[in-house]
Amino acid sequence: MMARVVVTGAGVISSIGAGVDEFEKNLYAGCSGVGPSQLLGDGVVAAEVRNFNPQQWLGNKGIRVLDRSARLLCVAAQMALTATGLQQQDTSEGDPNLGLVCGTMFGSVHSITSFDWSGVTDGPTYVNPMEFPNTVINSPAGQAAIKHKLRGVNSTISAGLVSGLYAIHYAAEFLRFGRATALLAGGVEELSEEAQVSFGKVGVLSARGCLRPFGADRDGTVLGEGSALWMLETAESAEARGAKALLEISGFGAAHDAHDIQAYRVRGEGATSAIQQALAAAEIGPEQIGCVIACASGSRTGDEMELHALKNVFGARLEQLPVCAPKAAFGEALGASGALCALTAGLALSKRSIPPIAMLSAAKDVQGDYALVNCFGCDGNNAALVLKGLS
């Protein structure tokens, strides 16, 4: 019997709020973080963490060398550590069984591009050596480990839009195999000119700057940013230290469509399979799912694919099932999306209702103890997570 893995706390920073309480309040008030970008200017619309002031949480020490991704991640980690009483004292070495698993898609792409740009324009001997460490994709996770004395496993997971959910699964596996007792797990993504150009040039961003998941008039997505982390522990170690278990990681499923690196397989075979695997791993049937936190991001084909998959799994019940697409609130935060959606699912289970955002039907009240979180990427990677509410 493998160990049970539970959630004992969270940290989040996003365009709709910093900290779980503010995130929850704004999400359930139906607020959206989509608006003009301060960071990118030039009329760009994005779900940005506005007026971001990491010193508020991290103090001034060591902040300067951290890029935006590292700052976002360090803030979310700080919140989750504090919420669970697992923050390490300044005088301690740090717990070797406490670690971090971070999902990201573009990573610190702006740091990487800027570093290369200075080499291209000024010459290779003029690049700033202090900036080189930020060019590795795992630099935010490494910086967070230094900042918060996390000496256990420190993994970065890149599975495109599915990264955040994979990171939660990866961390849960590590705990089950007994390689750690407590792991921060989730994702981070920063808004960047590079991601904006990348998605803009291939035409997947909403021309109107309007993110309408499942909407008949949807015309693309809007990029978001932020970081969300859960503290995952084995049920046994949480109980031993008297930490309250809020949720259980019940099942994970993953399936690749092996179809195209830049296009959804609209019929949703892989997405359907990922959901079915997650249900099987949780040892429940689809009738036990009380609500669905959808991946839908306003993509014409991506949202259509998800609808196919949901119909395949839930059949006629879909019309009465509470389903919402919270990216309408916090944007398509890429590698952080899965973690933000998982956090939303946890809130829905504890409040017994889904946020009133981009709902698929009128059903709002959660109909059971389990929530399904979907995460489907345009590279064909699909993942689904089943959570159980414990409160």
Partner 1 sequence: MRRVVITGIGLVTPIGAGRENFWRNLTAGANGIGPVESFDTAAFPVHIGAEVKDFHSEGPRGRGSQLAIAAARMALDDSGIDIKARDRARVGVSMGTTSGEPNMVERYNDARKAGGLESIPADILPKYPCNVIPSNIAIEFDLRGPCLMIPTACAAGNYAIGYGFDMIRSGRTDLMLAGGADPFSRITYMGFARLGAIAPERCQPFDRNRKGMVPGEGAAVLVLEPLDDAVARGATIYAEVLGYGVSCDSHHMTAAHPQGDGAIRAMAMALKESGRGVADVDYISAHGTGTPTNDRVEAIAVRTLFGDRAPKVPMSSIKSMIGHTMGAASAIEAVACSLAIHTGVIPPTMNFEEPDEGSDLDYVPNQARKTDPKIILNNAYAFGGNNASLCLARLQ
Positions in 117-146 near partner 1 (CB under 8 A)? 117, 119-121, 123-125, 127-129, 132-133, 135-139, 141-143, 145-146
Dihedral angle computed from the Cα positions of residues 185, 55, 332 and 47, in that order, rounded to the nearest 10 degrees: 160
Which one of residues 39, 49, 86, 109 is an interface residue with partner 1 (CB under 8 A)? Answer: 109
Q: What gap in Å lies between CA 268 and CA 305, rounded to an integer? A: 5
Told to check if 155 binds partner 1 by CB under 8 A, we report yes
Q: Report 246-265 residues binding partner 1 (CB under 8 A).
A: 254-262
The number of beta carbons lying within 10 Å of the beta carbon of residue 38 is 14
We find the least distance from the C-beta atom of residue 335 to partner 1, in angstroms, to be 8
Q: Report 320-379 residues binding partner 1 (CB under 8 A).
A: 377, 379
174-208 as b/e: b if 16+ CB within 10 A: bbeeeebbbbbbbbbbbbbbebbeebeeeebbbee
Which one of residues 115, 214, 314, 370 is an interface residue with partner 1 (CB under 8 A)? Answer: 115
Q: Given the complex with partner 1, which of 18 and 112 has the nearer CB atom? A: 112
Q: Report 218-247 residues binding partner 1 (CB under 8 A).
A: none
Which one of residues 8, 14, 273, 299 is an interface residue with partner 1 (CB under 8 A)? Answer: 273
Told to check if 267 binds partner 1 by CB under 8 A, we report no
We find the least distance from the C-beta atom of residue 78 to partner 1, in angstroms, to be 15
Joined together, the tokens standing for residue 267 give 């019929």
Distance of CA 40 to the CA centre of its chain: 22
Q: Given the complex with partner 1, which of 54 and 377 has the nearer CB atom? A: 377
Q: Roughly what angle, to the nearest 10 degrees, separates helices 269-282 and 300-314? A: 40
Q: What gap in Å lies between CA 26 and CA 334, rounded to an integer? A: 20
We find the least distance from the C-beta atom of residue 296 to partner 1, in angstroms, to be 20
Told to check if 11 binds partner 1 by CB under 8 A, we report no
Q: What gap in Å lies between CA 109 and CA 215, rounded to an integer? A: 31
Q: What gap in Å lies between CA 87 and CA 44, rounded to an integer? A: 37
Which one of residues 27, 46, 80, 105 is an interface residue with partner 1 (CB under 8 A)? Answer: 105
Region near partner 1 per CB under 8 A, out of 10-18, 71-79, 150-158, 343-351:
150-158
Told to check if 205 binds partner 1 by CB under 8 A, we report no
Q: Given the complex with partner 1, which of 126 and 316 has the nearer CB atom? A: 126
Phi, psi of 85 (to 5 degrees): 70, 20
Told to check if 87 binds partner 1 by CB under 8 A, we report no
We find the least distance from the C-beta atom of residue 181 to partner 1, in angstroms, to be 13
Q: Check the CA dihedral 158-160-164-170 and report its sign.
A: negative
Q: What gap in Å lies between CA 289 and CA 179, rounded to an integer? A: 31
